[in-house]
Amino acid sequence: MRNRPIGDNDAVGASDMKPITPTLRWILFGLLCVAGIFNAMDRPVIAILKPDISADLGWSDTDFANLAFVTQVAAALSFLFTGWLVDRIGVLRSMITGVTTWSLAAMAHGWAIAGWHVVAARIGLGATEAVQTPLTIKTVATLFPPDKRSFAFGVGTAIAGIGTITMPFFIPVIAAVWGWRGALIFGGVGGFVTLALWLWFARGVKFDDKAEDANRDFADDGAPYGPILMERRTWAIVIAKMLSDATWWLINFWLPDFYRKEFGLTTSELAIPLAIAFFGSGAGALFAGWLSTRLLEAGWSVNRVRKTIMFGSAAIVVPLPFVLTLDSFWPVAIMMGVVMAGHQGFSLSIFSIITDVVPRGKVGRVTAFGAFMGNMGGALIQLVTGAVLAAGLGFTPLFIFAAASYLLALGWLHWLLPNIRRVEKGAEIPA
């Protein structure tokens, strides 16, 4: 018994346990998504307030590319640990640990004076925010039955999208009062407030996040990642994640700069076009999650549902390079929203596949390893983007890669995982 993994069920006495009702399930998941908004707030702050930071610290495009690179690498390396951590200590303790550490890291920017202070704070933030992704997927796998998980992912991404849509509007307002450092501190404070609410609703809850399928798939040999790295399913997921996430990080970090360079937009003028992009992100995820659930309920196989959604999502990204031929700004802004919708539909399907083919006790590790690969793809694309722009090549080669990346990812996944089958029945989780 001494070697038994610590789980959330140890946090409270058995007599104090209370069931997770459908309403409570959505409240807990919704608050986790709100915490994720504050977690992700640091990236649009840096992108939107880039001119202010440049004036303050004297940074160039290359400096910002390097900052994005070290943040991505810190997050990527941290994912190798956070997935194991989430699987070992469970949802409750992971929520406390994750929100506390990434909120403190965000607030550390308030004391950043020199450029290296910002870099150090960003490394800390990149490392600690890496808890969010495996925690979210683990929470969905724990709280929701299999056929409801795609919709949960869609709702979660839509919540995050709503938060992201509002950021271009209120980040400049916060920065006008407290500066760019104050905008990052605000994100840390918001994280602590959300954590307090989550803990209040979660008191006495039993999180059954150690359940395994009777198949004992991915049989554990005691090593954090050993059995996972030997699985074709793992490599199907993580390489697809790396290819698709490279485009996500390209658009997510460089879209404001693209609008400035191509259309001469000011910081205040970025709000509406960025809101359109992230509205597309949330709407795409919500629609893909809803459609996946409806198709499963209609009797489609898991394999057919996942790959149909992924192909449709990849297809709508293909026209991206043609935005460079448009003279009118608003069609470009709408197309960027379509691209973001395509990414989220694709990404939602990858996360759903993880909960389909991976036993619940190992979801955190496979998710985190996929996120590690995704962040490494994101880190690489940041360096490539900096070099391409410095060479005066513009965004054309970058957008051509983005247009092909999702089809390449789907082809890879289908090659290694030609037939997706679930490893758990889901009967232990009430609908």
pLDDT score of 291: 93
Q: Pick the more confident residue, 390 or 9.
A: 390
Residue 4: exposure state from Cβ atoms within 10 A (0-12, 13-18, ≥19): exposed
pLDDT score of 213: 44
Q: Is the pLDDT of residue 216 over 80?
A: no
pLDDT score of 350: 94
Q: What is the mean pLDDT of residues 271-299?
A: 87
Closest by Cα among 345, 304, 341 to 150: 345
Q: Cα(155)–Cα(339) distance, rounded to whole angstroms?
A: 19
pLDDT score of 230: 81
Q: Cα(381)–Cα(377) distance, rounded to whole angstroms?
A: 6
Backbone dihedral region of 281: left (phi > 0), alpha (psi from -120 to 50 degrees) or beta? Answer: alpha
Tokens of 185: 């501190």
Strand partners, 75: none
Q: Pick the more confident residue, 378 or 221.
A: 378
pLDDT score of 179: 75
Please, what CATH class does the domain formed by 19-416 belong to? mainly alpha
Q: Pick the more confident residue, 10 or 36.
A: 36
Any residues with CB less than 8 A from the CB of 321 and at least 6 apart, and which?
A: 396, 399, 400, 403
DSSP category for residue 41 = T
**18 three-state secondary structure:** strand
Domain extents in the chain:
19-416
Q: Pick the more confident residue, 179 or 150.
A: 150
Taken in order 323, 327, 328, 333, the sign of the CA dihedral is positive
Residue 64: exposure state from Cβ atoms within 10 A (0-12, 13-18, ≥19): buried
Q: Cα(61)–Cα(67) distance, rounded to whole angstroms?
A: 10
Closest by Cα among 116, 90, 104 to 211: 90
Q: What is the mean pLDDT of residues 291-298?
A: 91
Position 336 confidence tier, pLDDT thresholds 50, 70, 90: very high
Tokens of 147: 């056929």
Angle separating helix axes 146-202 and 271-297, nearest 10 degrees: 120
- Cα dist. 21→25, 75, 121, 196, 233 in Å? 6, 34, 39, 20, 32
pLDDT score of 209: 58
Q: Cα(396)–Cα(322) distance, rounded to whole angstroms?
A: 9
Q: Is the pLDDT of residue 339 over 90?
A: yes
Q: What is the mean pLDDT of residues 192-205?
A: 90
Do 99 and 139 touch, CB atoms closer than 8 A?
no
Position 15 confidence tier, pLDDT thresholds 50, 70, 90: very low
The identity of residue 227, as a single letter, is: P
pLDDT tens, residue by residue, 150-176: 888 888 877 877 776 777 677 777 777
Q: Pick the more confident residue, 414 or 425.
A: 414
Do 308 and 201 touch, CB atoms closer than 8 A?
no
Q: Is the pLDDT of residue 51 over 80?
A: no
pLDDT score of 274: 82
Task: Scan for tokens 């990236």, then name that residue.
Answer: 43
pLDDT tens, residue by residue, 346-363: 998 998 999 888 877 788
pLDDT score of 208: 65
Tokens of 278: 């992230």
Percent of the chain residues past pLDDT 70, beyond the cut: 86
Closest by Cα among 157, 342, 311, 349 to 247: 342
pLDDT tens, residue by residue, 78-132: 887 888 888 888 888 899 998 998 888 888 877 766 666 777 877 887 778 888 8
